[in-house]
Amino acid sequence: MRIMSNKTASITGLIVLALLLLYCETAGAYGSLRCQGKLIDRGTTMAQVLALCGPPRSRIIEEVPMRSRVMSGFTRFAGLAVTERWEYDRGWGKFPAVLTFQDGTLRRIDYLSYRSASR
């Protein structure tokens, strides 16, 4: 039976900690949001979010270039995708939620760790 040295154990512990933090960060970025008792999740349309959550506090619309990979391994311009970011103030004691839509479908839900100044 082989016993790990302190150095090996601490490196293993750091790797496990890093993986857990990475997992938590990814899980938080793709969370869900509750509006009027209903759960809003990825894949929800803009119309459904507006119906349940109402109008957002702020709204940013951007056109993002989309690229596709070709057989040689390089990428080429494939067109523009419309991306919208909506910010919702969730009330006292809760951090604001930022919903990212791409082509009319909810792709990502993030929570800000601060209140934005756009109030």
Q: Which residues make Cβ contacts (< 8 Å) with residue 113, sequence separation at least 6?
A: 95
Confirm whether 3 is domain-assigned: no
Confirm whether 86 is domain-assigned: yes
Rounded mean pLDDT of the chain?
78
State the pLDDT at residue 16.
58
* Strands 105-111 and 97-102, sheet pairing: antiparallel
Domain assignment of residue 54, given as a range: 31-111
pTM, two decimals, is 0.62
Question: 27-67: per-residue pLDDT in tens?
Answer: 444 578 888 888 888 999 999 999 999 999 999 998 888 88
Confirm whether 76 is domain-assigned: yes
The answer to whether residues 101 and 87 touch, using CB atoms and an 8 Å cutoff, is no
3 backbone dihedrals φ, ψ, rounded to 5°: -105, 135
Confirm whether 72 is domain-assigned: yes
